[in-house]
Amino acid sequence: MASTTTGPSPSASTAVPPPGKGGKRRNPALLVAWGVVAVLVIGAGFWSTLGSGTGQSARSRLALIAPAAPGGGWDGVAREAQRALRDEGVVNNVQVVNIPGAAGTIGLGQLADMTGQAGTLMVTGTVMVGGIIANDSDVTLSDVTPIARLAEDYEVLVVPAASPYTTLDEFLAGWKADPQGTAIGGGSKGGTDHLLAGLIAENVGIDPEQLNYLAFSGGGEALNAILANTVAASISGYNEFADQIEAGNVRALALGTKERVEGIDVPSLGEQGVDVELTNWRGLVAPPGLSTEQRTALDEIVREMVASPDWQDTIARNRWQDTYLAGDEFQQFLTQNTQEIQQIADELGIGA
């Protein structure tokens, strides 16, 4: 599915369902082909006006790619950035384009083909790092231009409100008794949710190969699964489940950290005896082949957004941790994070 929204109306979108939707496993080649066609058809009118640009042209028109379906974490980051850039007057016209599939690697492939287009940014993060490994993607983050890390989001483990498990200990006991019969829902294969599920399993003595993990294309679909009681538990970013937790529709058993986080009334894994922690960073990358002028212009746009009151309100409202990092420091972080996620994936046997 691909959808776009223009600056004046963030809620308005054009959605086109891809072939094969309805529960059947999609052919990866067909999914990639559909992603290409959808982007070309829906985004052509906007992207055709961007061209390579001088760098400053990005202040007139900017495309933000959310490489996941509407409703998930990447989509949320893209739309928050869209609003902040527009409302703070940093960019005149900002459009969000959804390109879901394969832990964001379909969107990554599209971005890598936009050489020299300074009017495009894409949301990325831990999920994509793991997805590249899990899907054995030919395209990696080294094929695009790193711009900035924006923030980190905390993971949370939840069960349906009707679940018999009221504590993490109770859930872990049930999980150990029947690993394959305990379905754990979450985002894409190899993503943060999947990796955290495997780390928890390994830590409490469950063979990661026995993990029954159901991968969804985004937090929105994972939320629907837990609300419909089709999985025993689900893991996602805290913000994606926060409203349902507060409404009592799902029960939060643990935050994916070693220590309790101030402002979030959920016990951490660490304080409940599970020595595991994994956070989900979110950032922005641009197409390859940018000139120094083009990259500098995008750096300045993002820096202005991050410093704005609107974005700081976004950080507080979503309970994110502000971990802004740019330039060579962000590049170094990407290299280190990729190595760390590769090690975790190898230990858990998560791969293509």
Query: DSSP letters along 285-331, please?
Result: EE-SS--HHHHHHHHHHHHHHHHSHHHHHHHHHTT-EEEEEEHHHHH
347's enclosing H/E stretch is helix 327-348
Q: Which residue has the higher pLDDT, 21 or 147?
A: 147
The Cα 138–Cα 8 span in angstroms is: 36
* Residue-range domain boundaries for the chain: 3-151+281-348, 155-272
Contact 348, 193 (CB under 8 A): no
Indicate the pLDDT class of residue 57, thresholds 50, 70 and 90.
confident
3-state DSSP assignment of residue 21: coil
Indicate the pLDDT class of residue 29, thresholds 50, 70 and 90.
very low
323: exposed, middle or buried (C-beta count within 10 Å: 0-12, 13-18, 19+)? middle
255's enclosing H/E stretch is strand 250-255
Asked if the model's pLDDT at residue 1 lies above 90, the reply is no
The Cα 320–Cα 238 span in angstroms is: 9
Distance between alpha carbon 258 and the CA centroid of its chain, in Å?
A: 21
Residue 28: predicted pLDDT: 39
Average pLDDT over residues 259-268: 94
Tokens of 275: 């020595």
333: exposed, middle or buried (C-beta count within 10 Å: 0-12, 13-18, 19+)? middle
Average pLDDT over residues 149-161: 97
Q: Which fold is adopted by the domain 155-272? A: D-Maltodextrin-Binding Protein; domain 2 (3.40.190)
Nearest to 231 by CA among 167, 190, 196, 182: 182
Nearest to 65 by CA among 22, 113, 17, 29: 113
Q: Which fold is adopted by the domain 3-151+281-348? A: D-Maltodextrin-Binding Protein; domain 2 (3.40.190)
Residue 14: predicted pLDDT: 33
Helices 327-348 and 126-134 cross at an angle (nearest 10°) of: 50
Q: Which residue has the higher pLDDT, 262 or 351?
A: 262
Asked if the model's pLDDT at residue 320 lies above 90, the reply is yes
Residue 336: predicted pLDDT: 97
Average pLDDT over residues 263-284: 96
Residue 120: predicted pLDDT: 97
Indicate the pLDDT class of residue 16, thresholds 50, 70 and 90.
very low
9-23, 106-120, 208-222, 285-299, range with the lowest pLDDT:
9-23
Residue 72: predicted pLDDT: 81
Q: What's the predicted TM-score (pTM) here?
A: 0.83
Q: Which residue has the higher pLDDT, 73 or 129?
A: 129
Average pLDDT over residues 172-192: 96
The Cα 18–Cα 100 span in angstroms is: 10
The Cα 169–Cα 346 span in angstroms is: 27
Asked if the model's pLDDT at residue 67 lies above 90, the reply is yes
Residue 24 CA: distances (Å) to CA of 20, 27, 94, 161, 189: 6, 9, 34, 28, 16
DSSP letter (8 states) at residue 26: P
The Cα 198–Cα 192 span in angstroms is: 10
Q: Which residue has the higher pLDDT, 207 or 55?
A: 207
Indicate the pLDDT class of residue 53, thresholds 50, 70 and 90.
low
Average pLDDT over residues 260-268: 94
The Cα 90–Cα 349 span in angstroms is: 44
Given strand 61-66, what is the order of strands in its sheet?
A: 3-5, 93-98, 61-66, 120-125, 280-286, 145-153, 321-326
148's enclosing H/E stretch is strand 145-153
- Predicted confidence (pLDDT) per residue in 90-116, tens digit: 999 999 999 998 899 999 999 999 999
